[in-house]
């Protein structure tokens, strides 16, 4: 982890209900700064380096408030970047406002937070990305040099929640960072000292607001040779992207869920809020900040912990709306399709491992604690049972024998209380495999059914329902030789085939109160097969 300091503002764990997301990272950064302060206390200018230690110089830091008077209301961190002092950190303090510390020669990052006597007047954050300590040096941190951070959403009357400023400085291949978090308005910032090398300073500011129409996450990034002196941004509504988060009313769940939204890149406090079942949260975000992450924690259910879902790296576009639904039917297998993702199944020597979220929600989000009554995974080799594993749905490991053989890998899980009305998901794969010299992905596929359901997992009775059908895994794209899908309204006793046209199946839903089951039978172009059954996939109303 890069050496970092957390300066000023309100600590992450006291900002309030909105300071979540990556607070764990930021608490770690804060701890690093505290430890540095206790390890390198201020030394008198006359201190002499110990025998064998690198030569040190006196760094004197003067702190002036907005009236130009010396102040003891500050928190200053000095972090080594390169040279003999590359691993040094100090948080020197003296109530007089002037403090001296001895440090080895080298390039340092200095950041200082100044607190006025009246908290309502705000906070000043001064950053010197380039402090070259080549001899005894005096630096003056002057609050009068700062300019306001004036970032506001397009909704009049929106309430400010919190913000974070973060700066990274890179020199000779090493990066150091500093940050400030605050739950008060009135932050002012300034660059101090000479310019650093071109492109060596990266800085971003994130601010969060709550309004009557929406909540807001406004983030901006900058790459330069200097830290920011002031920041003014008043984006129009048309320049923002809308992210809607819907939380389903999970069976047996009680209470309130929780949703948080934060940029994908870099530490941030994020925006978090409660979300009632069957409700929708609306957050407007700045596309300039890049991709965004959404986390949803559902309300608790009897004898099971709250379920947490994560949707990372959501691309957003100005003027466009992105909707994510969590914890709703149809529950079934889902694969991580992001580049470089861990494969669903792996053969490594004589070991075969399965890792498929068997009870992902209707949008394909994998739960942290899937609600299930029982789960079983079995492996057969040339028709002979290798083993049976019980435990977490879709996760198991087996040891087989060398030589090419035909395998049948079957994973199943029963949702709910295990009664006849509970949903049951089964995926059975067949493939040919032999021992490998390194981890090799197994040719596994899944089929996703994504009907547009109400937030209680139901579809209207007696209507034509169109259901998108998507193939994931080994057979995705052009890898399908054949695909047959079927529906059942008697819990799988009888099945009716439904054609898939342009990636969709369409059928008329049964009478109110009935359940619909779904089945897919797939063969890929190399002869590997999948039979996937989802009994009690959804209900009608």
pLDDT digits (tens, 9 = 90+) for 357-381: 999 999 999 999 888 999 999 999 9
Whether 129 and 153 share a structural domain = yes
Do 415 and 526 lie in one domain? The reply is yes
- In this structure, are 364 and 445 located in the same domain? yes
* Same structural domain, 126 and 218: yes
| One domain for residues 225 and 262 | no
Helix, strand or coil for residue 370? coil
Q: What is the pLDDT of residue 306?
A: 79
In a domain, 332, yes or no: no
Given a contact cutoff of 8 angstroms between Cβ atoms, the answer to whether 394 and 356 are in contact is yes
Tens of pLDDT, residues 279-329: 999 999 999 999 999 999 988 766 667 789 999 999 999 999 999 999 999
Residue 337 lies in a domain: no
Identify the CATH number of the domain in which residue 256 sits. 2.60.40
Task: Flag whether 340 is in a domain.
Answer: no
Last residue of one domain, picked from the residues 233, 261, 284: 233
Same domain, 48 and 173: yes
Domain that residue 273 falls in: 237-326
Decide if pLDDT at 50 tops 70.
no
The reply to whether 462 and 484 lie within a common domain is: yes
| Statement: residue 4 has pLDDT above 50 | no
How much is the pLDDT for 250? Answer: 73
SS3 per residue for 430-476: EEEECCCCCCEECCCEEEEECCCCCCCCEECCCCEEEEEEEEEECCC
Is it the case that residue 84 has pLDDT exceeding 70?
yes
Band (268; pLDDT cuts 50, 70, 90): confident
* pLDDT in the model for residue 209: 97
**Over the stretch 204-250, which tens digit does the pLDDT of each residue have?**
999 999 999 999 999 999 999 999 999 999 999 999 999 999 999 87
pLDDT digits (tens, 9 = 90+) for 145-178: 999 999 999 999 999 999 999 999 999 999 999 9
| 396 and 438 share one domain | yes
In a domain, 335, yes or no: no
Q: Which residues contact 76 (CB under 8 A, 6 or more apart)?
A: 61, 63, 91, 92, 93, 99, 110, 111, 112, 113, 141
> What's the pLDDT score for residue 170?
98
Residue 37 pLDDT more than 60? no
Do 24 and 168 belong together in one domain?
Answer: yes
On the CB side of 410, how many CA atoms lie within 13 Å of its CA?
14
Question: Are residues 273 and 124 part of one domain?
Answer: no
CA distance 454 to 540: 10
Report the alpha-carbon distance of residue 394 to residue 417 in Å, rounded: 18
Q: Which of 178, 211, 233 is the last residue of a domain?
A: 233
**Is residue 338 a part of any domain in this protein?**
no
pLDDT of residue 18: 33
Final residue of a structural domain among 182, 211, 233:
233
Residues 462 and 349 in one domain: yes
Kindly state the percentage of the chain with pLDDT values over 90. 80
pLDDT at 457 over 80: yes
Percent of the chain with pLDDT over 70: 88
Least confident of 126-130, 181-185, 331-335: 181-185
* pLDDT at position 33: 34
Rounded mean pLDDT of 525-537? Answer: 97
In a domain? residue 376? yes
Question: In this structure, are 24 and 110 located in the same domain?
Answer: yes
| Res. 425: pLDDT tops 60 | yes
Give the total number of structural domains in the chain.
3
Tell me whether residue 10 is in a domain: yes
Residue 389, domain member (yes or no):
yes
Q: What is the pLDDT of residue 45?
A: 38
């Amino acid at each position: 982890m890069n050496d970092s300091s957390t300066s000023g503002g309100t600590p992450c764990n006291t900002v309030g209900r909105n300071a979540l997301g990556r607070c764990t990272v930021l608490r770690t950064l804060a701890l690093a700064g505290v430890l540095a302060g206790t390890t390198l206390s201020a030394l008198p200018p006359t201190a002499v380096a110990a025998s064998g230690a690198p030569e040190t110089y006196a760094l004197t830091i003067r702190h002036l408030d907005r009236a130009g008077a010396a102040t003891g209301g500050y928190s200053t961190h000095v972090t080594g970047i390169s040279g003999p002092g590359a691993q040094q950190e100090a948080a020197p303090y003296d109530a007089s406002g002037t403090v001296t510390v001895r440090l080895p020669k080298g390039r340092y990052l200095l950041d200082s937070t100044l607190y006025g006597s009246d908290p309502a007047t705000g906070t000043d954050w001064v950053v010197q990305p380039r402090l070259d300590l080549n001899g005894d040096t005096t630096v003056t941190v002057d609050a009068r040099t700062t300019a306001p951070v004036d970032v506001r959403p397009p909704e009049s009357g929106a309430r400010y929640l919190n913000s974070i400023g973060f700066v990274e400085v890179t020199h000779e291949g090493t990066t150091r960072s500093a940050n400030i978090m605050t739950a008060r308005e009135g932050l002012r910032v300034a660059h101090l000292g000479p310019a650093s090398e071109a492109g060596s300073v990266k800085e971003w500011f994130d601010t969060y607001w709550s309004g009557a129409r929406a909540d807001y996450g406004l983030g901006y990034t900058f790459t330069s040779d200097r830290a920011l002196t002031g920041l003014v941004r008043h984006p129009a509504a048309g320049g923002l992207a809308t992210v809607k988060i819907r939380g389903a009313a999970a069976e047996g769940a009680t209470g309130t869920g929780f949703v948080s939204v934060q940029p994908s890149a870099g530490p941030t406090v994020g925006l978090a809020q409660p979300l009632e079942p069957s409700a929708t949260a609306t957050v407007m975000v700045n596309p300039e900040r890049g991709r965004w992450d959404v986390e949803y924690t559902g309300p608790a259910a009897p004898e099971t912990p709250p379920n947490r879902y994560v949707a990372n790296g959501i691309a957003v576009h100005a003027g466009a709306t992105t909707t994510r639904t969590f914890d709703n039917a149809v529950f079934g297998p889902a694969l991580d399709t992001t580049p470089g993702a861990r494969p669903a199944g792996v053969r490594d020597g004589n070991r075969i491992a399965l890792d498929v979220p068997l009870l992902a929600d209707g949008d394909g989000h994998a739960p942290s604690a899937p609600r299930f009554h029982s789960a079983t995974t079995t492996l057969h080799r040339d028709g002979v049972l290798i083993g049976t594993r019980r435990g977490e749905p879709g996760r198991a490991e087996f040891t087989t024998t060398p030589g090419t053989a035909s395998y049948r890998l079957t994973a199943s899980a029963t949702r709910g209380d295990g009664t006849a009305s509970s949903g049951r998901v089964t995926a059975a794969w067949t493939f040919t495999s032999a021992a490998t010299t390194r981890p090799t992905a197994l040719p596994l596929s899944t089929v996703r059914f994504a009907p547009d359901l109400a937030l209680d997992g139901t579809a209207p009775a007696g209507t034509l329902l169109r259901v998108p059908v998507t193939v994931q895994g080994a057979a995705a794209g052009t890898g399908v030789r054949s695909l047959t899908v079927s529906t059942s309204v008697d819990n799988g006793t009888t099945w009716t085939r439904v054609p898939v046209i342009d990636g969709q199946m369409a059928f008329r839903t049964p009478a109110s109160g009935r359940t619909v089951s779904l089945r897919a039978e797939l063969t890929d172009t190399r002869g590997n097969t999948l039979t996937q059954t989802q009994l009690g996939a959804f209900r009608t109303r």
